[in-house]
Structure formats: structure tokens, C-alpha cells
Structure 1
């Protein structure tokens, strides 16, 4: 029994010595005398306990205490030189990121997190097809890759060209294309060029198919993608998202190579407008006389949007936005108001209130009328009548407006016309009753389930948007409406109209009451007159 105990004791002693040697190997060569003395004392103490056959638990406690003391005197931090090198590398990287020339080329952004927090994250994420690096190679979007390769194959067969012609052309533009995206793109040069050629050719085939017909391009009428089927609307909605964009100059180059004119510009923008036309929030046609009056009212410098004349488009979303705005009204903000304005912050209904809701404006004497124009943002007010162009709302309107607002929030060289309009409509619409009034006036037409869904849509669009009401082009209109509502006579007249002239039966009742009142007054007059002036 004693032999076995000594054997166990010897094993623990050897383990302790090994642990001691391991710890000492990591210590500086110049140890303090106290550490060396403690080690010698520890060895002697173990030898004494071995000879005296002291209990095993006592030796184990001693081992733990000495091991703890040895570990505590070890090194506590990594080498300071490696730490400084790491900091200098990060500073060098920050210096490169701070280069102004790189930020100036940025035009395709990731949607900020504060906009995603509204709970509408699906409006920014593609559901069918990914374009560009942000959602590249995601598992749920890989089903579209074979169709992209089919598009490239059709182009090569029609043009009798080699794929290397497209790869080499995009390779030259790779650095410029990477600068358009936010943050580092974790793709090799070959992977990036392949992605751009594949996605760009897929986009161009869709554009040309919508304009010329997919059958003329060599696709079957039963093609699951390249045919005007129900899925095309979902593809259009994915392709208009901010994070799903390809630089327009790349599309121009790919299309120019197909046409045999690599420097060709402007045609892709026109094709994009035709392809995305079903997503437009208005379909109000203009007659020739209406168009001429509209151009005269905006001045000689105003003309319809022509993508061939404007080569500054950044991507398809930017081109589509410009087509919606044409030449928008230029706001003239007052400098002294902006200086003292505290409204440039995350949207607060108290700070972002441009105008009252529809029901309140009606009670104040404001009437609503549909304005005949295809510019949905062109709101006018005159003589107590607020004229608003017709707005068509469908299942893709929410995603469209959210991505347009996100682009205006992110891009510095971009006006806030869409944001201003959406905020204005958000102020007008607070309840389903407001939507019902605008629908009755022909201003809003929607394909949603109910008026409550439309009201909820507008109330959610600008929940977290940074917006300055003094920079809105609709601020003058709002001020005119508010001044009109301040006159009490307008409110009294509106109350009379709503209460007594809202329908034919109310009018008849009012007229009857007036006649009865007049007869009563006449009877009273003759009774009093006969009393004081009796008949002779």
C-alpha cells in the first residue's frame, strides 16, 4: 500500500517539475532571486513530504499554490512592437480610405441600417436575381445563374463574337467599376470581371427583349425567364433596387460591343426607361395641348427627359429617377431659416409636419382636385383648391419609393424631390378616411387590399428618414395652404358647406328651415304690428 502511494506521489512530483520547467521557459532569463529561492524551497518541501509520507491532499494544495505563484510572474501582454505595427497598419488603411477621390466615384450604396430598422428590409433585398457584388452568389438567388449564362450564349451566337472580347473590355474598366461600390469587394479580379459581364449581358437581354421582343432575339415563347410572364414584374422590382445596380458605363460598353460601336452612349438609358415603365407611379397620359401648356408654364429651359442628351446617369435607378422628375422645381431655401432650423434630424412628426391631413384641410375649407399631368410630384394650390396629380399605387410602389429615398439619402449630389413628395403625402394621409377622400377625387388609385393598407404604406415610408423641411420644394405650397387655413371665414364657410350643402337632402332641409324661419318672422312682425297699430 505504501509503495503504491509513493508511486502516485512520485508521479505528481514529476508532473510538478515538468510544469515548473514549462513555465520557467516562458519567463525572462534574468529571474528575481525570490523566484529561484521559491522553486528550490518547493522542491525541498516535496522531498520532505515524500519522506514523511504526508497526506496526498496536502501536497496537491501546495502544488496548486506554487503553480499559481509561478504563473502570476509570467508575461501578461503581447510584444509591444507587434502591437504598434498593427496600429500603424490600421492608420495607413484609414489614410487610404480617407482619400476624397475614391468617395467621389461612389454611387451604388448599401442601404443604411437606420432605414432598415423600419421593418421593411425585404424592400431592399432582391428575391429572384442578384446583380453586382452585394448579393452575389447568395444561395437563394443562384437559380438565376443558368439563365444568365444562357443570355451570354445567345449574345455570342447572334454577334459571332468571342467571350474574350467582353472580358477584356470590362477588365480595363474594373478599377473604375469597383470604385462605384461601397466598401471592399471580396472578389478576385477574374471573379469580378466575370460577374460584371454575366450580369451586364443578362440586363441587356431583358432590356432589348422588352423593346424588340424576345422572340426576335432567339428565345422561345415558352422561355421561363425571357418572356413577358408574371415573373417579369418581380425581376423588374429586383433590378430597380439600390443594392442591385450595375454602373451605367459598363452597360454602355457591353451594348456598344454588341453593336460594333464600343463608345456608343445613351441607348441603354432609353431601353432602361422602357423596361421599367410598368413600375412608374403614374400612368396619366398627356394630350398635346396639355404638354404644350405644361412646357410653357415651366419656361423655355424645361424639356422632357431625354437620356440621349444627358450622359450623367449613374445606374438604372438613377436614370429611372431622373425620368420621373424630368426637370424638377428648384427650391429656394431661406438662409436665415436654415441657420436656426433644428429639423435636420431623424424624422419626427412634430418637426416634419409640412401640412395637415386631408380631413383637417377639408374642415378648414380646402378642396382637392386631380391635376392633369404625368409629373406626380407637381402639386399646385390656388384659391382654396389643392391640385395633386394622379398617383397609381401597386405592390411594387413601396419598394420603389423606399429605394429612391435611400438613394437620395446616401448620394450627396442628389436632390430630395422624391423624399419631399413622400413626406408631403405622408402628412396628408393619416387615416383610411384620408385615402378614401383622395380616391374619390381621382388623386389616388391603388391595387392594394384596402385604404388602410395605403395609409399604412405612407406612414411607414419616412419613419427614419433624415429630412429638412426647409429644403423641400413643396414648402411654398404648404405655406400657402397653412395661411389659407388661418382665416376663420374660410373655416366657417367650409363648415356651412359640409353640414348643410353636402347632399341634395341636406340642401332641401336647409332651404325648408330658412323658409320656415322667414314665415315665423313675418308672422311675428304682423302680430306685433297689429297690436300697436289697430285697424280703423
Structure 2
């Protein structure tokens, strides 16, 4: 299916769904609400495509209804089963949305496809008033559904995971991408803040060796970060006293490049400390330079990629390197850069890494090294006994 056919298919889906939603919601839009929409229309900005407020609102309603339709498919299994099982064959093929759900999610997070969040919120609230069971919660007691909860749960399978909830219910949200960006904000669950977390480091270090270089030359290992009962976000990169770098698992899929690209573009208007996606991707770009870096991080459980080859993973981060504003790095990871670079320049760590690489790089060398030490100890003991025996004579 070419791009024009896909666009026509999506347009049919939107048209069918907007008709269904407007037919149920339209009766609840009071004259006061109708007057409120044009009043809020200028808050979206000046890029209104030459439309008047009424036409612009109709376009936003069309997009809003499609978004809510996609969300409802994710939450309402009664809607999904007929399309998955092929029992229903509508002219607009909503089962295609179910089958390509990850692509739909990425499409809804494109920076140039965002619509005002208040439109989504208003239509969602009207829809909930009509169909209170439209969004079914199956895990725990999550209370009254809101568009923020529903959307974040919908986008929670894109590979950028957070098991703790940032407070996104009270802050002002401009659009869905803004909401998702707020959701990914690094958590503050560490017992004591590191210097780079609370103070801006003057002239920070902006370079890190690759993952294999760190392991081979400085004995710096990577560990997948797993916490139980503590909020954690995929961006929570930390260091340990042992010298290890702890990184939460990151899923790299076909849509990861587009997703991170849009988040980085969104951060162009933000300050350095708020551009945490930019800082995180720059960190990954440093440690993932070659295919062996991907292999190492994959073995450690840090990278979980579903691409056809390791070379594709390297290509993803090289492409993202071109859109990073490096003046915004290292950002919230400044303390990690400082500590890792200090370990790289440590003479003792280099000696330790060299010995580890030379004598313990594989199982057989390790066994030979241990056996050699054991034989040396036994020979020393034998010599001591021989000397003691000679003295007694």
C-alpha cells in the first residue's frame, strides 16, 4: 500500500469515526460550549491554515475523534475482537489500526501533527459523560479515567518505559507530545542528589568513550537498572561506587528513531535542564559507536532491539546525532559524565582494566591464571617446608 492509499484509508477512518462521535457528542454541545470553542481558538497560535474559527474547529474535531477512536480500541476489547478476528469488514478497515497500533501511536506523537490538548480533553469528557464504560481499566483501582491517564497508558508500550507516575494531572499540557515528554521526566528517587543534579557544572565534559572502550580500558561495566517498589524512568542513568554505569532497559524498534527525533525537536524551545531527551540520546550516541557496543549492551540487557541487525541500531543513533543541540548536553547527566571521565583518567583503574583484559578476558585464560597462582602458592609452600626441614637437620 503506497502513501496515498494509506492517507485515503486514514481519512475514511476519521470520517466514519467523527460521524459516530459527533452524532453522540453533538447533542451535548450547548450554545455556551459552541461559543467557547472559537474563543479558545486563538490560543493554538497563528498557524491556522487560513481557516476561520469554525472550519478550524471542524478540522480539530475530526482529528480529535480519530485520536479518541484509537484510544478506545486500545482500552475496549469488545471493540477490538471483531477486527482482530476478521469478523467485521468495514470499508475503512479499522482492524488495520489494531494491526499497526505502534505506527498509529508514533503518528499521534509527530510534532507537526499535534492539536490543542484542551480540544481533546473537552471531547473526551463529553464522550465519557455519554459512554462511561468506553475506557475499561483492568489493572488495579485507577479511579475516574481522564484523557491524561488514558493517553499515557496508550503510549506506554513504545519502548521508553516509566514505572512511576510523574504528576501530569495538574500541570498545563499543550498537546499529546508535550504530555508524553512530561511523563518521561527523570525521577528524583535517589537518596542524595549528585552535584550535577542540583547545580549547573561550569564547562561540563561533553565526551564519553564507547561502551566497549569503557569496559576494555577502564573496567567500567554496564548493568541494567532494575528497582522494585521505587519509581523509575528509562532516563534514570546513574553510576555506582564500583564504577559500573546503571542504565534502565531501552527498547529499540522501527519507530524509535521517529519517536526520539520528534521529542528532540520539541525540546528545541526548552532550556538545557528541561531538554532531558536530548541529553539522554547524546549519552546513548556516545556509548553506541560500533556493532560490538550494541552486542555488549544487548548482552547486559541495557538495549533490547528488534531491528534486523546491530548495524541498524548504530545507524539509528548516528542519525539522531545530527539533530542534537550539543550545547544542551550533558544536561541532567552532567554528574554521570564527570564521574565516568574521572574513572577513565584513573591510573589504578587502567592498570586493573589492563590486567583484567590480559588475564581474565575469557574463561580459559581465567582458569589458566587461577591455576598458575595456585601452582605458585603450592611451590612456595613446598619451598618453605624444604627450608624448614633443612634447618632441623
Alignment TM-score > 0.5, same fold: yes
Other-structure match for 1:361: 214
Do the aligned partners of residues 170 and 440 (structure 1) sit closer, same or farther apart at CA in structure 2, a change above 3 Å counting? Answer: farther
Answer yes or no: is the 8 Å Cα contact 1:209–1:217 preserved in 2: no
Match of 1:313 in 2: 173
Q: 1:139 to 1:483 in 2, by over 3 A?
A: same
Mapped to 1, the partners of 2:345 and 2:110 lie a distance apart of 42
The answer (yes or no) to whether the contact 2:73–2:98 under 8 Å persists in 1 is: no
Which residue of 2 is the match for residue 278 of structure 1? 157
SS of residue paired to 2:246: strand
TM-score (norm. length: structure 2):
0.78
Matched with 1:431 is 290
Cα deviation, residue 331, structure 1: 3.5
CA distances 1:188-219 after superposition (whole Å, capped 9, x unpaired): 33321211111111211221221123629998
Structure 1 pair 450/218, CA: closer, same or farther in 2 (3 Å)?
closer
Aligned to 1:211: 75
Deviation sequence 1:476-499 (CA, Å, 0-9, x none): 011111112221111111111122
Contact 1:408 1:414 in 2 (8 A): no
Deviation at 1:430, TM superposition (A): 0.8
Q: In structure 2, how many angstroms separate the alpha carbons of the residues matched to 1:387 and 1:255? A: 40
SS at match of 1:325: coil
CA contact (8 A) 1:469 1:475 kept: no
Instruction: Name the larger-Rg structure.
Output: 1
Matched residues in 1 for 2:30 and 2:80: separation?
A: 23
Q: CA deviation at 1:155?
A: 2.2
For 2:331 and 2:186, locate their aligned partners in 1 and report how far apart those are by CA, in whole Å: 17
Task: After TM superposition, list the pairs within 5 Å mapping 1:26-425 onto structure 2.
Answer: 141-158=7-24, 161-162=26-27, 165=29, 169=33, 172-174=36-38, 176-181=40-45, 183=47, 185-213=49-77, 215=79, 221-223=88-90, 224-225=93-94, 229-260=98-129, 267-282=146-161, 304-307=165-168, 309-325=169-185, 327=187, 331-334=197-200, 337=202, 352-353=206-207, 355-362=208-215, 363-373=217-227, 374-382=232-240, 383-411=242-270, 415-425=274-284
| Distance change (3 Å), C-alpha of 1:515 and 1:155 | closer
Moved more, 229-238 or 267-276: 229-238
Shift of 1:518: 7.7
Deviation by residue 1:299-349 (Cα, 9 ceiling, x = unmatched): xxxx72354x324121111111222226468843437x2xxx5x9xxxxxx
Q: TM-score, normalised by structure 1?
A: 0.58
Superposed, 1:524-535 pairs within 5 Å as none
Task: Report what 2:310 is aligned to.
Answer: 451
- Secondary structure of the 1:425 match is helix
Q: Structure 2 stretches of 5 or more lacking a match?
A: 131-143
> What corresponds to 1:75 in structure 2?
none
Change (3 A) 1:515 1:189: closer
Change beyond 3 A, Cα 1:485–1:149: same
Shift of 1:225: 1.8
Assess if the C-alpha contact under 8 Å between 1:210 and 1:274 holds in 2: no
Change in Cα spacing, 1:409 to 1:139, as seen in structure 2 (3 Å) is: farther
SS at match of 1:430: coil
Contact 1:485 1:491 (8 Å CA) reproduced = yes
Higher mean C-alpha displacement, 216-225 vs 369-378: 216-225
Q: 1:205/1:171 Cα in 2 relative to 1: closer, same or farther (>3 Å)?
A: farther
Could you list the runs of 4 or more consecutive aligned residues of structure 1 that deviate by over 6 angstroms after TM superposition? 216-220, 515-525
Instruction: Give the secondary-structure state (helix, strand or coil) at the position aligned to 1:369.
Output: strand
Cα distance change on mapping 1:217 and 1:520 into 2, 3 Å: closer
1:221 and 1:272, CA in 2 relative to 1: closer, same or farther beyond 3 A?
farther
SS, match of residue 79 in structure 2 = coil
The verdict on how the C-alpha distance between 1:360 and 1:497 changes in structure 2, with shifts beyond 3 A counting, is: same
Helix, strand or coil at the partner of 1:473: helix
Partner of 2:137: none
Shift of residue 177, structure 1, vs aligned partner: 3.6
Contact 1:247-1:314 within 8 A present in 2 as well: yes
Is the 1:240–1:316 Cα contact (8 Å) retained in structure 2? yes
Q: Tell me the CA shift for residue 442 of structure 1.
A: 1.0
Say if 1:240 and 1:400, in contact at 8 Å, map to a contact too.
yes
The runs of 5 or more residues in structure 1 that have no matched partner are 1-126, 129-137, 287-302, 344-350
Instruction: Specify the SS of the correspondent of 2:239.
Output: strand
Local SS of the residue matching 2:251: strand
